[in-house]
Structure 1
Amino acid sequence: MTQHQPPVFGVGVSSAIRDTQGTLKLVAQADQQGLDHFSVSDHPYVGRWLDAYATIGFALGRTERISGLVNVTNLPNRPAPMLSRTVTSLSELSGGRIVLGMGVGGSWDDIVKLGPERLSPGQAVRAFEEAIALVRLLSGGGAPVTFEGEFYRVTGLQPAPAAAPPVWTGSVGPKSLAATGRLADGWIPGHAADWRSDRYLTSRPLIDEAAAAAGRDPRDIATVFNFTGAITDTPTAAPRDAAGRWIGGSVAQWVDELTGAVLEHGAAGFTLFAPGGGVPDEIALGRWAEEIAPAVREAAANR
């Protein structure tokens, strides 16, 4: 995504098995109301949650326009060669409606329950870089691939004819942020940090520096924010709390805030979550999709 493309708007939905029907209903609503993507989390070691890629595939099969995003893929539990087969298949089946969210892996006490060996932070970042490279090598057709990496090895493997989807990362640490700058198409700041946060202000320069050193235009690496807050009927006196974190406001206040994020801070998109990181209800989703997103898109187009 370059700085000339319109901002994208998405919504985070529940992965809980008990919420299955509500999740599918919200995705259908988001599709009908013109959102760009829906997002599910990936914690395959939690038995009461749906598998992220099964959810994405099922939901994409019931929709027409919206893209699916695993926010973000738990890479240690989804080895890169098979992950490539999964996302290229979903891309082909859905007409390209998928974004590949990628993460280094964080909850190692849980991750190892599924069998992979525990990696050090440095090893996890190197595996992350190899995985991005390998997913792309195994996409787009061409000659059989042999890859001899530190963590991944394939021999004479035929690439899928489908193109690799865009890669957005959930990088947090300096090394993984640098890897994002060298390799990724987008970045989702961790902990729902926004453009005014210290986390964003100290992290984004590391991405930009690594991108420039690799001969890339840093502006081609989109920042897509997980953004939480309430959409209220009337304006609030203070849409940000004492710590400066956005807590919400009226549609007009949201439009002003997000338009400023796009025009002044280079935001490339937003994924809506309810306060506290929960799932928006149907009313909030409708305001987000039919009132806030179109107004911000229009303002961005007229800049």
Structure 2
Amino acid sequence: MSLRLSTVILPVRPWREGGRDQWVRAERLGFHTAYTYDHLSWRTFREGPWFGALPTLTAAATATERLRLGTLVTSPNFRHPVTLAKELISLDDISGGRITLGIGAGGDGFDATALGQEAWTPRERADRFAEFVPLLDRLLTEGAVTQQGTFYSAEEARTIPGCVQEPRLPFAVAGNGPRGLKLAARYGQAWVTTGDPKVFAHGTPEDSLEAIRGQLAKLDKACAEIGRDAAQMEKILLTGFTPERNTMLESVDAFVDFAGRHRELGFTEIAIHAPIPDSDFAADETVFEKIATEGLAQLG
């Protein structure tokens, strides 16, 4: 599989004050997909503007024509499969079948308690995710679903007419634990990773590559257990969370080196964040655009 380059546009700019322009620019620059985070707020951006993912993607769908769109990632922290399925079917229709759902188990950040509940433990998140994904799969592929679950239920839930993309819009499943990898193997058209958080702050690029190599080996095993060839599965690296986070967008050469090493591991898509001044994702706009237009060509 060839390597594709995508971008992540955080929903921090009002639509009429530069928000729309970012999505239009992403299409103009030739990115494969433009993703956004699906959170209620996120880390250092908590005290500033932060807009909803699905309305933002809906607006982006009407402002673009070819660009694929998606979430990296949606989680059960504040979503229910029934209502999420209805919104995704609507978004897939509005976009003309250009939506990818990045989906993960969620974390213990602000989203985890915003609805007034106690944050779930890692095991509780895994339990919910294991129920969330199969039900969402059913809702997006069947016209009517009834299912009684421990955490999520549906009672004659109608999801007609279904997705434009058949049999449903693709799932890009984020998961590195045994249960998450099994869900990715069974339900994912793609697998997503940010690398290993244990080497993020103090590890070396070589440490990170070795850790990701281990993740990929576990994915291979999970796929093999159900008779699936992992080599046929898309593999997405969401950048910004590996030891090279501060250097990989400094120049086209730095990006090409980074991308080449991860392509050798088997990645088929790399997603880079659109620059946001004075933030964890600050970067030179000129270099960002050169990477978008020249990076893959230089990679060869």
Question: TM-score category by the smaller chain?
Answer: 0.7 to 0.9
| Match status 1:171 vs 2:175 | yes
Query: d(CA) in 2 for partners of 1:116 and 1:221?
Result: 36
Distance 1:244 1:32, change over 3 A: closer
Structure 2 residue runs of 5 or longer lacking an equivalent are none
Give, as a single letter, the amino acid of the residue that structure 2 aligns with 1:288. Answer: I
Q: Alignment RMSD, CA only?
A: 3.0
Kindly state the Cα deviation for residue 184 of structure 1 after the two structures are TM-superposed.
1.7
**Aligned match of 1:31:** 27
The yes-or-no answer on 1:158 pairing with 2:170 is: no
Alignment of 1:107-256 (within 5 A): 107=108, 110-115=111-116, 118-142=119-143, 144-160=144-160, 161-162=162-163, 163=166, 164-190=168-194, 196-228=208-240, 247-248=247-248, 250-256=251-257
Deviation by residue 1:138-184 (Cα, 9 ceiling, x = unmatched): 12454x22222222111222333214221112324343233323322
SS in 1 for 2:102: strand
Q: Match for 1:32: what amino acid?
A: R
Corresponding letter in the other structure for 1:146: T
Residue 100 of structure 2 corresponds to 99
Identify the residue that residue 79 of structure 1 maps to in structure 2: 80
- 1:53 paired residue number: 54
In structure 2, give the amino acid aligned to 1:221: M
The aligned amino acid for 1:210 is: A
2:287 maps to 284
Contact 1:224/1:270 (CA < 8 Å) preserved in 2?
Answer: yes
State the 4+ residue runs in structure 1 displaced beyond 6 angstroms.
192-195, 243-246
Q: Is the 8 A contact 1:90 1:98 kept in 2?
A: yes
Cα 1:201–1:290 shift into 2, 3 Å: same
Report the Cα offset of residue 212 of structure 1.
1.1
Change (3 A) 1:281 1:98: farther
Runs of 5+ consecutive residues of structure 1 not aligned to the other structure: 230-239
Q: CA deviation at 1:279?
A: 5.5
- CA pair 93-198 structure 1, distance change in 2 beyond 3 A: same
Contact 2:10–2:36 at 8 Å: present in 1 too?
yes
Deviation at 1:20, TM superposition (A): 6.5
CA deviation vs aligned residue, 1:40-62 (integer Å, no higher than 9, x gap)? 11221557311111111111110
CA distance in 2, matches of 1:8, 1:271: 9
Q: Kindly indicate whether the alpha-carbon contact (under 8 Å) linking 1:172 and 1:190 is maintained by their aligned counterparts in 2.
A: no
Partner of 1:113, secondary structure, is: coil
Q: Percent of aligned pairs with the same residue?
A: 24
Alpha-carbon deviation of 1:68? 1.6
- Is the CA contact 1:181–1:206 (under 8 Å) kept in the aligned structure 2? no
Q: Normalising by structure 2, what TM-score?
A: 0.80
Are the equivalent residues in 2 in contact too, given 1:42–1:51 (CA < 8 A)? Answer: yes
Cα distance, 1:107–1:18 mapped onto 2, change above 3 Å? farther
Tell me the TM-score normalised to structure 1 length. Answer: 0.79
Alpha-carbon separation, structure 2, partners of 1:103 and 1:209: 20
Change (3 A) 1:109 1:269: closer
